[in-house]
Amino acid sequence: MWTKAEMAKLTVEQQEVVARFELSLARQREQLLKEARGRGKWRSAFEGMSYSALGGGLFGLFVYAGLKGEMYVCLAGLGLMVVNALICIHTARLHHRLDALLKLLDFDHKSKDDSNNSKAEKAG
């Protein structure tokens, strides 16, 4: 973290570089906060696989039910696949949010350590 006096000593170009760096850190932290809150845009591999497996399973069940003439088998299988897909999607999103929280925690600890180190250098 820079003080006003330190920033005043820098040239305009150096001040611009510092400002860009601080802005990039703020944007990175903001993005991590969005992801941790579950508002970030992402597509999980688990989500795509869940939808693919659901579609393939439905096709297989309808073929099986058509050949056997037993619709209850199709409905029971469909229910299990939907529940499985929802659990997989929820789990993948939860893991993504937890990863974002851990990254945010590391980011904040690193920023705090950097701030403490710069204060110690100034004092010493």
pLDDT digits (tens, 9 = 90+) for 46-95: 566 667 777 777 777 777 777 666 767 667 777 777 788 778 777 877 88
Q: Which long-range contacts (CB under 8 A, 24 or more apart) does 74-81 make?
A: 81/53, 81/54, 81/57
- Distance, CA of 29 to CA of 73 (rounded, Å): 50
Predicted TM-score (pTM) above 0.85: no
Task: Read off the pLDDT of residues 11-37 as tens digits, 9 standing for 90 and up.
Answer: 889 889 988 988 998 898 888 888 777
Nearest Cα residue to 103 out of 29, 41, 13 = 29
